[in-house]
Amino acid sequence: MTVNVLDIAKRRGFFWPSFEIYGSCAGFYTYGPLGALLKLRIEELLRDHYVNKEGCLLIEAPILTPEDPWVASGHVESFTDMNVECTKCGEPHRADHLLEDKTRKTAEGMSLNEIMAAISKHDIKCTKCGGTLGEPYDYNMMFKTYIGPGKNKITGCLRPETAQTTYMPFRRLFEIGRKRLPLGVVQFGKAHRNEISPRQGLVRLREFSQAEVQFFMDPASSGKHPKFGSVKRRKFMVLTKGDQKPGRKPAEMTLEALVKKHTTEWIAYHLATAVQLFERMGIPKKYLRVRQHKDDERSFYSSDTWDVEYMSDTFGKIELVGIAARTDYDLKRHQEFSKQKMQVNLDGKTFIPHVIEVAYGIDRPLYSVMESNVKVDGDRVFFSFPPSVSPYQVAVFPLVRKDGLPKLARDVYDTLNGAGFYALYDEGFIGRLYYRQDEAGTPFGVTVDYDTKKDKAVTLRNRDNQKQVRVKIKDLVEVLRKVMSGQLKFEKAGKLIK
């Protein structure tokens, strides 16, 4: 049986195309009750790590901004894709993608003129109607609008990344962070790209969520990381820029070896952290690899960029996070254009800090968590989400809707909810309730039955293997905590029911 994640996502209310009743609009998705919760929990896991464990400051800036910052950042000039339209039906296409689809070779780094020549050489036509294509041109992907009315209105932009909205208040953040470097600042929020032709579900959206962390540092110390020693023996599948030539394959490498030849401790440490966080979200390491950007693909301001990629069955490689050494480019440009000082004075030196950026998408990891956790067991389909991100961690049901069982089950639900679990109460035919929670990826089910009145215990069901144990209500919170954290094996959590 093959399973289509997008079908389940739609049917069970994880996410679906937005504006459906008006015929939808490509590149926009609405998260339903399960998807919104899954997203929230993924964001919580990231926030907990970067704010509580790495000591980053959390901020939230507007998504709608004046145009000036984007002139400074270079987005007005160069945040572009190459668009080519059909002269017959008007369909827009990404020129580089059309060429790549035809030649099966990368078009990365090719100029507009080279692409134009290649399109005519290979006689590429409109994929929708077969019509002749027009001339490709650079198309800016920022959404624009107006701020305010009348003559004095100004041009507004929806931010294409959160990063610049973190750089702008750098001086204030530096003061708030008590004038110390490195200074980490994290921002969660929406960003927008007016993509030419988004057709890959959550992988390519016009409105998407990001979690971008900016580390401001003294360039003299930006290589070494104090916690590198704790991760240096970890191994990953790595594709360095030298490996991306025909015939070369990714190789397993320790971080120590990676740092020796290919990058800095700072970048390697954050690559390791990102992989570990994806694993905690439930994405198995075998689907992940670390890839260095090639020289012709890296942004011009970056001296070194790496991605963690997920190998998707449906969409091929998906970039989940990008880690880039952005040098002092952004702060320098904001200093130049705003005429406000971005430099700091530390240890007798005056300098503009350098930035290492750890830029997570949220929608792509969410999709990857779903795709890598969908399981088929006979005619049963379930998501094996770990309790650390599952929309619900435990569902509580009465066996029947009578004889006082709903009241007892509600009490159990209140206890679990009060103890901080993501709990859910539902009632109905018990087999169907289990089936629904399997598809929602809820790791545990609790059933209150007639015996509960006598033994003050409930049946606890494990989603993954459908085993059941009997647990006293008074022990339930403790047992669930231990089972979820891996301290206690499920089979040992109570009397096994045969």
In the bound state with Zn ion, the residue whose beta carbon lies nearer, of 32 and 134, is: 134
In the bound state with Zn ion, the residue whose beta carbon lies nearer, of 133 and 267, is: 133
Beta carbon of residue 93, minimum distance to Zn ion (angstroms, whole number): 9
The separation between CA 187 and the C-alpha centre of its own chain, rounded to angstroms, equals: 13
Beta carbon of residue 88, minimum distance to Zn ion (angstroms, whole number): 5
Question: In angstroms, rounded to a whole number, what is the distance separating the alpha carbons of residues 354 and 220?
Answer: 9
Stretch that binds Zn ion, among 38-46, 80-88, 223-231, 386-394 (CB under 5 A): 80-88
Q: CB neighbours of 381 closer than 8 A, spacing ≥ 6?
A: 1, 3, 8, 374, 375, 438, 439
Helix (H) or strand (E) holding 479: helix 476-485
Question: In angstroms, rounded to a whole number, what is the distance separating the alpha carbons of residues 70 and 164?
Answer: 8
Beta carbon of residue 133, minimum distance to Zn ion (angstroms, whole number): 8
First vs last C-alpha separation in the chain: 28
Question: Is there binding between residue 132 and Zn ion (CB under 5 A)?
Answer: no
Site for Zn ion in 284-303 (CB under 5 A): none
Q: Which residue has the tokens 């100029």?
A: 111
Q: Which of 47, 128, 380, 410 binds Zn ion (CB under 5 A)?
A: 128
Structure letter (DSSP) for residue 353: P
In the bound state with Zn ion, the residue whose beta carbon lies nearer, of 129 and 176, is: 129
In the bound state with Zn ion, the residue whose beta carbon lies nearer, of 125 and 375, is: 125
In the bound state with Zn ion, the residue whose beta carbon lies nearer, of 92 and 219, is: 92
Question: In angstroms, rounded to a whole number, what is the distance separating the alpha carbons of residues 402 and 454?
Answer: 16
Stretch that binds Zn ion, among 125-133, 181-189, 235-243, 249-257 (CB under 5 A): 125-133
Q: Are 339 and 367 in contact (CB under 8 A)?
A: no
Structure letter (DSSP) for residue 133: B
State both tokens at 365: 């990891």
Beta carbon of residue 140, minimum distance to Zn ion (angstroms, whole number): 23
3 state SS of 441:
coil
Stretch that binds Zn ion, among 10-18, 115-123, 131-139, 405-413 (CB under 5 A): 131-139
Question: In 6-91, at which residue ranges do the beta strands (DSSP E only) sit?
Answer: 15-17, 29-31, 57-59, 64-66, 80-85
> HSE (CB half, 13 Å, CA atoms) of 255?
20
Q: Which of 3, 58, 129, 419 binds Zn ion (CB under 5 A)?
A: 129
In the bound state with Zn ion, the residue whose beta carbon lies nearer, of 88 and 234, is: 88
In the bound state with Zn ion, the residue whose beta carbon lies nearer, of 126 and 239, is: 126
The separation between CA 410 and the C-alpha centre of its own chain, rounded to angstroms, equals: 35
Beta carbon of residue 89, minimum distance to Zn ion (angstroms, whole number): 3
Beta carbon of residue 94, minimum distance to Zn ion (angstroms, whole number): 14
Stretch that binds Zn ion, among 82-90, 278-286, 319-327, 429-437 (CB under 5 A): 82-90
Q: Which of 74, 131, 134, 406 binds Zn ion (CB under 5 A)?
A: 131
Question: In angstroms, rounded to a whole number, what is the distance separating the alpha carbons of residues 457 and 475?
Answer: 9
How, if at all, do strands 183-192 and 57-59 pair?
Answer: parallel
Beta carbon of residue 197, minimum distance to Zn ion (angstroms, whole number): 12
Question: Is there binding between residue 126 and Zn ion (CB under 5 A)?
Answer: yes
Beta carbon of residue 117, minimum distance to Zn ion (angstroms, whole number): 21
Stretch that binds Zn ion, among 54-62, 127-135, 208-216, 298-306 (CB under 5 A): 127-135
3 state SS of 260:
helix
Site for Zn ion in 83-122 (CB under 5 A): 86, 88-89, 91
In the bound state with Zn ion, the residue whose beta carbon lies nearer, of 124 and 423, is: 124
In the bound state with Zn ion, the residue whose beta carbon lies nearer, of 129 and 376, is: 129
Question: Is there binding between residue 426 and Zn ion (CB under 5 A)?
Answer: no
Q: Are 282 and 389 in contact (CB under 8 A)?
A: yes
Beta carbon of residue 103, minimum distance to Zn ion (angstroms, whole number): 20
Stretch that binds Zn ion, among 126-134, 161-169, 251-259, 358-366 (CB under 5 A): 126-134
- Cβ count near 355 (within 10 Å): 26
Q: CB neighbours of 186 closer than 8 A, spacing ≥ 6?
A: 47, 50, 51, 56, 57, 58, 59, 211, 212, 213, 214
Rounded to the nearest 5 percent, the helix, strand and coil shares of the chain are: 35, 30, 35
In the bound state with Zn ion, the residue whose beta carbon lies nearer, of 199 and 249, is: 199
Site for Zn ion, rule CB under 5 A: 86, 88-89, 91, 126, 128-129, 131
